[in-house]
Amino acid sequence: MSVSSFISYLALERKFSPHTVNAYKRDIAEFHAFYLKEHGVEATEDVSYGSIRSWIVFLVEHQLSNRSVNRKIASLKAYFKFLVQVESIKVSPLATHKALKTPKKLEIPFSEKEMDLVLLPFQFDDDFEGLRDKMIIEILYTTGMRRAELMNLKLKDLNLPGKTIKVLGKRNKERIIPLVSRTLENLTTYLTAREQQVKIQGEPFVFIGKNGHKMYETLVYRIINRYFSKVSSKVKKSPHILRHTFATHLLSNGADLNSVKELLGHSSLASTQVYTHNSIAELKKAHRASHPRSRE
């Protein structure tokens, strides 16, 4: 069973994004290149765990982080799991493999004050790009959608009378996100300006570049970094931190975990629980300030 069959399975059946599929393909190709160099033959389906272990040692010795090594091994593990499913092999050589230990990834959300400051009107130029940039920050913060979801958002996904947005998430899973009134008003203003900017009638995407077409991938990162650098000293400034901020602020203000899970488009509560540590800190702070026994 060839690697190309596995790649087709990821793209067509699992409906992974092209970016994710390419990552799997690249990781597996790197292992095959290592195996060929070490053994003088191409890797076959009966690769031993010892050979994979040698690759892990090679990656670590070449200063790859444990997190990066784990990602590459996860790609290989998925490939062998696929081979078991299609009965090309009986047991995966990685069946009992344990991932390398990694430090917990600390992602610090923006504070409510930072969000208020970054969305002040004077932070943005008085032109289409300024209006678009403000709308991008606001919609990421008030919906919690992913960067890729925002980039692929189309006009047909907007239900302005119903005050909702339909988002196409990972593995083509759809979810409906409500719009708060202020975001709805600002989105309406943006769409009016957008119509004057579009170069080709029928451009489907909501957010466009100054050329009137769909934005390029790195533009959203640049927008977030540019504006948050003015109001925040936090090291990491990215669309994902805004998603993290959305979830943390909801939980801190009383939203239940299941509701946040649905809004984020997570398949399990375990994925959502990573956002709770900051809300727990807020609860502890409120508890200390409010409970009579804490004053003793």
288 is catalytic: no
How many whole angstroms separate alpha carbon 67 and alpha carbon 22? 18
Q: State how far the Cα of 103 lies from the Cα of 108, in Å rounded to an integer.
A: 15
Question: Quick check: 137 and 116 in contact, CB under 8 A?
Answer: no
Assigned token pair, 229: 């650098």
Helix (H) or strand (E) holding 159: strand 158-159
Q: Which of 295, 289, 248, 290 is closest to 272 using CA atoms?
A: 248
Q: Is 62 a catalytic residue?
A: no
Active-site option among 170, 175, 213, 214: 170
Q: How many CB atoms lie within 10 A of CB 275?
A: 26
Which of 72, 77, 146, 194 is catalytic? The answer is 146
Q: Residue 208 pairs with which residues in a beta bridge?
A: 214
Quickly list DSSP for 173-195: -EEEEE--HHHHHHHHHHHHHHH
Q: Which of 97, 243, 249, 261 is catalytic?
A: 243
Number of Cβ within 10 Å of residue 178's Cβ equals 14
Give yes or no: 240 in active site: yes
Q: Which residues of 224-256 are buried (b: 16+ CB within 10 A; e: fewer)?
A: beebbeebbeeeebebebbbbbbbbbbbbeeee
Q: What angle, rounded to 10 degrees, do the helices at 239-252 and 128-143 form?
A: 50
Q: Which of 9, 35, 227, 275 is catalytic?
A: 275
Catalytic center residues: 146, 170, 240, 243, 266, 275
